[in-house]
Amino acid sequence: MLKISDFFFNFWLRFVYPYKEDISLDIYDFHAFEKEFSRYMGIVFEDICIDALTALMKNNKIPLKFSKIGKWWFKNIEIDIIALNPKLKTIIYGECKWKDNVNPKEVYNVLFKKKESVHVPWVPKKEYFVILAKSFSYKMKTNDVLTIDLKDLERMLFSKS
């Protein structure tokens, strides 16, 4: 699949260039834009989450270590983030939700079912789950599930400590 990785250029090609005449005439339908923009941000958020988790891991801001990270899909099953540590035989399953007030237990239950379709060349000794969202209705408090919202990302990525 061809993908433009520059977010600004991708945005411009998707939302500005095809409608530049409508925009210049001030007849652009911003309601249609808002609906499509949220869908677009969901895709962008997945890429940001992968980059953010990598940065958090490198800076010891999360207790997880991995050497490979990316998206995963098989047939009609998609997992937004899979991160592996073959040395420790650990695997991280992640889901990214560009929504407010996400119920983490519901996302976890779906992700837990999806993980059954993932095959790695070794049996994981430990599985972890990471759920990232704009915000949560509540946070899960377990050792194997991390819930990270935008405020957490901002604090962890940009704090001095």
pTM for the model: 0.85
Amino acid letter for position 62 = I
DSSP 3-25: ----HHHHHIIIIIGGGHHHHHT
pLDDT tens-digit series, residues 138-158? 999 899 999 999 999 999 988
pLDDT digits (tens, 9 = 90+) for 19-49: 889 888 888 887 777 878 888 899 899 999 9
